[in-house]
Structure formats: structure tokens, C-alpha cells
Structure 1
Amino acid sequence: EWEYLEEATKIEGRAHSDPAHSSIDNKQVNNQSVLGSFMHFLVTTAYLIRSEYIQLRMLMCEDSVVSGSQQEEILSMGQGLLAKDYVVYEDQLQFFALLARLDVRTSLDRLYENLCSRCNAFQEELSNAESNNSSSNQHTVDLLHEQMQWIIMMIGFTLCDSGTSERVLIPKPILDYSASCQVTEQNLAVQCIMAMLKTLEFELSSSRSSSNAAYGSPLLVETLFWALRRIGPVYILPDLSDYHRISQSIIVAFGSASDGGNGEVVIRGIVDLIKQTFDIWSAEEDVLQMCVSLMLALGQRASIAQK
């Protein structure tokens, strides 16, 4: 239906620009104009809903930290899968992803900026505490962790779907958007994944420090590995035969070395992060189980398992 609307808009554009189409029935043109307006309405409305949802979730994170429910959630990590936000709020996040894919560039840009800004704020908080030889503001750290967790879940649902019976592929809206990106640095889908890897790397390195160990978040680490579990098997070393067309920016970032990609480097980096996690969070069963789940998911792809 969405492709039909897009095609209708293209026909309308040709009718206005090409004199050869001036004989098109006025009623048909009017109908196509209505469809074009409806498309604009959908994209605009989706943007408003996404913006409000992100803002609402960030505010709810503040309320969660103030009320202390975040600590209760961390303590309940061992209660099983049903306690996880990406399960409890799956319907909301799937709907968010559906709306986000109507305008991939704007959606990913918002999520990328939100993740980077909060990760930078977290780094500054720890850096200032070290330079002043004082303790960090626990409320600020907890809030940043909670907000980053939700942003990561939104990114995870937006970039790919879940699936068990069939191998999941990169969604068509993401492929179409990526095709418009000339270089990897312009592709926000790639940059979001790289930002998550950098966030995980910093979270683990800061948790290893004796002065900052108390500010680590096993829940955030688990959520980051959940996102990699969802995204990794889809984007890393993609089988080019599965796609009619795939962006060169994705191939460069995650493709095989034979195709000029850095997929093997990404795999080695993820394995190294998993090793660090087993060393740092050896007492957190849920975190370790998610690491194992990620390894198993990657291993199911023959091209990845060989590396």
C-alpha cells in the first residue's frame, strides 16, 4: 500500500511536469493529489508521535530514577525474560519502529544524537569526578543509564525485525535510505550501530576502573548485548545474494574483507567485548546469558562462524 502511494505521487508529478500527460483525467489527478497529501500527513503525524514518545520516555526515566524503581528493576534482573523492558514494551517499540521507517533519516538522526549526547554526558560526569577527586552524582548516572537503555531499544527495533522461522534481512526502508548515503559516515544506520559499540566499550572500561566500578550498569550492558543480538546477525557479513541492491556504505562497514568491508574487524571487537564482560560482570547471570545468546546467534551464520 505504501509503495502504491509513492507511485501515485510520482504519476502526479509527471502529470504536472510533462505536457504529454496533460490529457490525464482531472479526477484521476485529483485522486493522486489526495494520496500525495495523505502521504505527507502520514510522515508528519509519524514524526510528531515519535517525538512525543521519545520525550515521554525520557521523562519517565527521570520519574523512574527519582522513585527508585530503577534500582528495583536492576535487582529483579534474575526474574526472567518477562521482566525485560524489550519484552514488556515490545508492542510499543514495534509501533515506534513502524513509524520510524516512514522517515528513516530523521528518525535515526534523532536517536543517534540522543544516544551520543547522553553517552558524552556520562563520560563527562565520570571525568569531572576523577579530576575533582570526588564522587559522581549517582542520580545523574542512573538517569543517563536509564535513558540510554531506552534509546538503544528504540534503535534495535528500528534497524531490524525479530524472527525465528526465517532469517531476518535488513528492512527495505533501511536499504532504500542507505542507498542514498555515499559514504559510511553519512549512513546513520551504520553510525547508530557503531555508537552502540562505542557505548558498550566505554561502559565496560569505566566499570573496570576501581574508582568508577560503582557506577556501572549491568542492565545497560545487557541491553546493549540484546541490541547486538538482534542486529548483528542481520548486518554483519551480509549475504549479498539475499539483496537486489545493498548500499556500499553498509558493505564497507560490515561486509567481508573480499568485498572491501570491515566485518571481520567488527566481529573480533564484539568477541573482545564479550570476554571483557565475562571478566567484569561474572556475577550477573542475565548479562552473561545475553552474551552467550549473542554468540549463538552469530554462530548460526556460517559466514560469521568461520571468522
Structure 2
Amino acid sequence: MLLNPTVLQIFYEFYKKSPKSGSQHGGKDQRHLVMQCLIQLSGIKCTSLTVNLPEKEQHLVRVSYSESIIKIIFLLIQECISEKQNQNSENEYFDEDSSHDLIAISELNKQFVDTLLQESLTLDSTKRQIQPIEFLFTFIPHTLDYLKCISKAIEYLLRESLIQLREGVYSTIDDFDESYEVEALSHFLEGWVNLVEAASEWSDSLLQNFGEDNVLTNKANDIINDLNVISTPICNLYIEVYISLSLKDMEIDGKFDVDSELSRDYSQESEFTFIFQVYQVAKLIRLGSYDFLLNLCNLLQSKMQKMEESTHVLVQQLESLSINNNYGTENDPIQDTHKILSCILNICGFVMAEKGETEHILVPNKIMEASIVVSKKLFNDEEEIVSAGSNPEVYAGDLRATESISKAINPQKLRIDPVVNIVHLTLSLLEFIVADGSLSINQSKSLLIQSIYKFFTRIGPVYLLPDENEYEKISPTFIYAFGNAKNDGHGTQILFSLLDNAVKTLKKWQFNEHITMSVVEMLMAFVKSNRLKNEITGNSQYRLFVSTLMTCMDYLHQQARISVVYIVSSLAVNSIHHFKNKDHITDIHELANVYFLNDFISFSDTNLDISATYGVQDAKYLAEKLLYGLDVLEGIYQACHPAIVWDLHFTVTSRVLSIFKGLFLSFYHVEDVMLKLLQLLETIASYQETSWFTEIECPETIVSSYYKTQNQKDVDGNEIEYKTIQSYFLGLGEAMTSYKIGKSKNF
């Protein structure tokens, strides 16, 4: 009964006839309840309820049910949008109802799509498994019309958003995100992208199983092409709204930090943010990746040219003292160009690479395939491009042949590939901004610099110095544009150009926390990639980069400083481990000595009242210096693993812990110092060989010294802290026991 199309039709008719809230009869609650029933019915898995029916009857029930749901969604969208377009703008009740209706329909569609794609696999007459997406396109009539209707709903919502933005309806981005357009768009777009991804995976599996010359493969390719055509206006409109939103003079509060948006808790309604949808749209753009990337590349190039021209005009005006008073206002063309460039780079970054915490995020398949096509045209090579992993001497035909081509080819020709061109254009943009003699920074310029570094944070570990063995097929264009020297690649040159500009940026805008953090995050991403880390530490420019980077530390804020220490320490450890160069261990010793040990070694076994001994002002300065030193140690311990540099850890850790007792007793009244000492202690315990603590009697030393501070202060408020330490050392004791048992078993 639940799957009976007649039941669905009854609910649909009931919904249509339910009075709206603007009606004299009321009925908003009734209308809402009917829609909730439809949503629940659309979430029924047919394969679960029909499992006891004969196979043929199962199929018929599933077809009729799915067809009915699709028809209802189609009609509801048509009616709602038609009403919305024809409504009287003075009738506020009607407007509110149609807005709520569109949100409800978007939820209905999303529920149907989610359930459809979770359906169990079925078998056709040849016992071949049928994917849910194949079932939809094969057995449900008017599926393409349904998809076009969904796309029109998305386009309509994007156009409405654009109109609202241009009319200045919203004063903040939060207001815009809370609009019905964005909420409905989020549901429709998520359902659409899920369908597109499922279709793409189905097409790839058919290609892998049956090859290119197959009826099913050709059918899937035709569907993908249709979806690409339908998705194109959606992507174009989204980008237009995204740019329009960035140009509005709103309270943005960092909302254009897309990575931060994605790290939020989306179990709440915060998922309905317009900027968050760039992640979804990027997946659609990859369907026709190179057409879109080519357009974005051209737009990037034109806006860069406009920025350079505007900058030269501004410089001339300043030199002649004839600067127009409009500069620096919301109509400032340079600021608008900065904002547009930021948007383009954010979108390009999401299209070109997924974000991952490890180095194993690869170039998206669609982009790699498109680049291979470009490579064949560029190198006039029609032979199949095969895996370098399967045969190290073969890719893009004969490796030796392509090597000879690469030596003769002009590197500029590689820019025919839009991915390569976008990377080089963005690097040129960074170099232009950094080389500019002006130290002035406004919000739009700051966002642009951050966007550049976030772009390279995302794509750098994926594209630079690619490992051919990780890909079934790899584009020769990428090898020559981003590869290492053995393949005549330019990846090392790009990498060290980025490192050089990163250090210059830190020096130039050292007091801008947002910019420095974006730079440091890029460097962190690079050192977390073994490929990039090995290239940096094995290069002759390594020492210059590290020494220059270390000179920036004193001016950075706390988190950036810890990260820089991590970067320097991680590179030093990598140099020792992979290149057996123990000279670089001095970087870590220098950091530990200069920023901590030299200043505080005298506190070993000391019980000083620092305020009485040094005076209030000097004591405050000393506490701040100690916090700085503890930050440095935090970065060192996070970067180094004892399995690699055991000697370093033993010497540094033993010296550090010997000072802890005196530090606890001397700085007991400085809460920030106490908490930082505990945090560092936890880090040390997390990363060290636990057996070391028995040699230097760390637990007894710290617990007893902290207990003494409690007696000295006689303050009950810190009882929780003391109990925390006790609990912590109980856990540490258990860890030691486990470690010793494990060691004894190994021997």
C-alpha cells in the first residue's frame, strides 16, 4: 500500500488543496503535515518492502513507485516556480508560503535521491548487477525531463539570489545564508550532485569492465554528456552569484574562508551557507573541467591585467599627488578586482583538488583525463598513455621519445593546459603583489593574499612533483610542468619560488595574523607531504630557506610561531632520516637553546618568587618570554618522533624536564604559564619513549612540585588542576607499564 502510486497521488492532491497561511481558512500546519507525509513516503526503500514478491513484480512496483514520485516532484516544482514568478509582490503571505513550499519540495527531492541511491543492487535478465542510477535512467520514463526540472529550480534560486543581492536586500552574509533561496538551493544542489557523482561512477565502472566500444558504456557517456550540458548554467550562475556576493559591502567576518566554513559542524543548520556550496559546484565543474577551467583561466588573466593597470594608475596618481578621493571607497576598482580574483582562486582550488590531511590526495580523474587529451595534442602523440607504475619506461608512448620532445618544447607551450596556466598565473600574481613596494594592506588585498596561499595549500601537495606510480595514467603535461628534474620538470622551480615568496610575505606583513597564518598553513601542508619535504631538504636552497624562515619567528603570533618551529624541526628531522645529514640537527638544538634552555636553565631546582626577585614588570616580561619558549618547544615535539632522532629527544627532554620543578614553583601564580607547562608535558608524554621518564623520575618530580605550589597558594580553586595532573600521571604510569611489557615481549 505504501508503494501504491494512488496513495502518493492522494497526498499530492491533498497538498495542493490544503489552504495556505494567507487563506481565511488558515491551514499552514495541515499543509506542512501533508508534505511531511510525502517526504517520508519518498524515503521508502522499494527493495526492502518488495523482497518477498516475485522478481518481475518487484521490478514493476519499483518502477511505478519511482515514476510517481518523480512526477509529483516535477509538478510541484513547476507549480511553485510558476506561482512565485506570477505572484503579486504586495501579497506577503503568498510570498512566504511559496518560499516555504520550495524549501519543502527541495527536501522531498533530496530524500528521494538519497533513498534511490541507497537501494540494493538488482539483476537484469543476464544476471548483471544494475546500479540504482542505471535503474533510474533505464526504466523510469521522463527521467531527463525530471532532471531538467531540478536544474531549472536550481537556476531559478540562483537568479533570485542574484536579484536580491543586487537590490541590497541583505546587510550581512548571515542574513543571506538564512534566506529561503539558500536553504532550498542547498537541498536541490546536494541531490543533484549526488546523482551526477553516481552517474560518473557508473560510467567509470562500465568503462573499466566493458571498454570504450560497448553499448552500455556509450549509453553512460551520453548520459554524462547530458548532465554536463544541464549542469553548465548552474555552474555559471553560481560563480556569478559568488562573485556578486564578494563584491557586496557586507559584514563578512572571514566568511570567505571556505576551508573554515567546511570545518564547521554541519550537523546543524549551518550547512545552509552559500559559500559552502562551492564544494558541491566544484564537483559539477569537473564534469566539463577543462571548458570551465579555461574560462576561469581567461577571467583570472583579464582581472590580473586589470589589477596591474589599476595599480600603475594609482602609483602615477600618488606620484603626481592627483589621487582621486574615490580611491579606497566601496567603489574602488582595485578592491573589486582583488575580491573577484579571490573568488576565482577559491573556485579553482576546489575544482583542481580535494582537500586532505595526507599526501595521498590525487589529481581528480576527470582533470587528469582532460589533461591527457591536451598532452596528446601538444606532443602529437596518439599512442595510449599507460601507467608508469606498470612499466617505468613507458608513459605517453615511449618515455625516451617524450623526453626528447620535452627538451625541445618551449615551457610556455605547456600553458595550453588550463591547469598549468592557472598555477603559473597565480604564482605570477603572488610575485607581483609581494614585489609591490607598498606595505599598505586593506581587507580585499588581505583576502586575495590569503586566497593565493590557500590555493597553493590545496593544490601544492597534489600537483607538485607528482609520483607517477600513484596513477594508472598520468598526463605528460603535468610531468613536465610540475615534475622533478629527472623528467625535465619545473616542479622544483615552482616549489622554491613559493617558499621564497612565503618568507617575503611573512616579513612584509608579519603583523597581519590572517596573512601570516595562511602562509604558515601552506608551509605546513608542504612539509606534511613526503615528496615535497624530501625535495626541500635535498635541495641546495634548503639552508637559506630555513635560516630566513627562522628570522621571522620573533614577529609572529603564537600559533604561527609554533607552526614555524614545527616546519623547521620537521625538515631537520627529515634531513637526518633520509639524507643522513646530522648537521641540520643544530636547527632544533638552536631553537631549544635560544628560546628556552639558555634563559631558564637557572630555574632548575629553584624556588623563586619571581615578582619579588625581579620586580613586577620584569617578572611579567619573564613570564611572556617563558610562554614564547614553551611555544617553541611545543613545535619541536610535535614535529619530531623519537624513532627518528632518539638522541635529540633524550638530551633535550631530560634538560627540559629537569627545569619543570623550578618553573612550577616559581610561576605558580601565572595561570597561563601553568597551563602551558601542563600542555607541553602532555605533548612530551605523547611523543616520547615512556621508559625515559623512569630514568629522570618525571612523574614524582612534577607531582611533588605541583603539590608544593598548592600548599604555598592555599587556594582551593586549583583543586581541579591538581586532580587533572594526578589522573594524567596515572595514565602515564599505565602507558609505561604497557611499553615495558611490549619491550620485554619483543626481546
TM-score normalized with structure 2 length: 0.35
1:38 has 2:267 as partner: no
Aligned residues of 2:258 and 2:276 also touching (Cα < 8 A)? no
2:200 aligns to what? 2
1:121 has 2:306 as partner: yes
| Larger RCO (CA within 8 A; separation ≥ 6) | 1
Rounded Cα–Cα distance in structure 2 between residues aligned with 1:130 and 1:275: 25
1:84 has 2:282 as partner: no
Rounded Cα–Cα distance in structure 2 between residues aligned with 1:164 and 1:14: 39
**Aligned residue type for 1:119:** M
Counterpart among 126, 136, 150 of residue 343 in structure 2: 150
Structure 1: give runs of 5+ residues left out of the alignment.
16-28
Counterpart among 224, 229, 241 of residue 56 in structure 1: 241
Counterpart among 158, 175, 178 of residue 368 in structure 2: 175
Aligned length: 276
Aligned residues of 1:86 and 1:153 also touching (Cα < 8 A)? no
Aligned residues of 2:202 and 2:220 also touching (Cα < 8 A)? no
1:188 has 2:418 as partner: yes
Rounded Cα–Cα distance in structure 1 between residues aligned with 2:220 and 2:362: 29
Rounded Cα–Cα distance in structure 1 between residues aligned with 2:217 and 2:360: 37
Rounded Cα–Cα distance in structure 1 between residues aligned with 2:500 and 2:357: 27
Name the larger-Rg structure.
Answer: 2
**Aligned residue type for 1:2:** S
1:261 has 2:261 as partner: no
Rounded Cα–Cα distance in structure 1 between residues aligned with 2:529 and 2:354: 17
Shift in CA distance, 118/43, structure 1 to aligned 2, threshold 3 Å: same
- Within a 5 Å distance, the mapping from 1:7-26 to structure 2 comes to none
Once the 2 structures are TM-superposed, how far is the Cα of residue 57 of structure 1 from its aligned partner? Answer: 2.0
**Aligned residue type for 1:239:** D
Aligned-pair identity (%): 22
Counterpart among 130, 135, 151 of residue 323 in structure 2: 135
Once the 2 structures are TM-superposed, how far is the Cα of residue 36 of structure 1 from its aligned partner? Answer: 5.4
Rounded Cα–Cα distance in structure 1 between residues aligned with 2:220 and 2:462: 34
Deviations 1:20-46 (A, max 9, x none): xxxxxxxxx7x8887555333201111
Counterpart among 287, 294, 298 of residue 515 in structure 2: 287
Secondary structure of 1:204 counterpart: helix
Rounded Cα–Cα distance in structure 1 between residues aligned with 2:360 and 2:311: 41
1:24 aligns to what? none
Secondary structure of 1:164 counterpart: coil
Once the 2 structures are TM-superposed, how far is the Cα of residue 223 of structure 1 from its aligned partner? Answer: 1.4
Secondary structure of 1:180 counterpart: helix
Aligned residues of 1:218 and 1:281 also touching (Cα < 8 A)? no
Structure 2: give runs of 5+ residues left out of the alignment.
1-198, 262-273, 379-413, 537-747
Rounded Cα–Cα distance in structure 1 between residues aligned with 2:227 and 2:466: 32
1:305 has 2:533 as partner: yes
Rounded Cα–Cα distance in structure 2 between residues aligned with 1:56 and 1:140: 19
Over aligned residue pairs, what C-alpha RMSD do you find?
A: 2.7
**Aligned residue type for 2:200:** W
Aligned residues of 1:101 and 1:158 also touching (Cα < 8 A)? yes
2:600 aligns to what? none
TM-score normalized with structure 1 length: 0.81
Q: Which has the higher helix share?
A: 1
Shift in CA distance, 186/219, structure 1 to aligned 2, threshold 3 Å: same
Aligned residues of 1:200 and 1:221 also touching (Cα < 8 A)? yes
Shift in CA distance, 44/209, structure 1 to aligned 2, threshold 3 Å: same
**Aligned residue type for 1:227:** F
Rounded Cα–Cα distance in structure 2 between residues aligned with 1:32 and 1:165: 34
Aligned residues of 2:461 and 2:529 also touching (Cα < 8 A)? yes
Once the 2 structures are TM-superposed, how far is the Cα of residue 3 of structure 1 from its aligned partner? Answer: 5.3
Secondary structure of 2:334 counterpart: helix
Rounded Cα–Cα distance in structure 1 between residues aligned with 2:284 and 2:221: 18
1:18 aligns to what? none
Aligned residues of 1:298 and 1:305 also touching (Cα < 8 A)? yes
Shift in CA distance, 233/140, structure 1 to aligned 2, threshold 3 Å: same
Once the 2 structures are TM-superposed, how far is the Cα of residue 85 of structure 1 from its aligned partner? Answer: 3.7
**Aligned residue type for 2:424:** M
Rounded Cα–Cα distance in structure 2 between residues aligned with 1:90 and 1:214: 24
Aligned residues of 2:228 and 2:287 also touching (Cα < 8 A)? yes
Aligned residues of 2:359 and 2:530 also touching (Cα < 8 A)? no
Aligned residues of 1:181 and 1:187 also touching (Cα < 8 A)? yes
1:296 aligns to what? 524
Shift in CA distance, 235/90, structure 1 to aligned 2, threshold 3 Å: farther
Rounded Cα–Cα distance in structure 1 between residues aligned with 2:473 and 2:533: 24
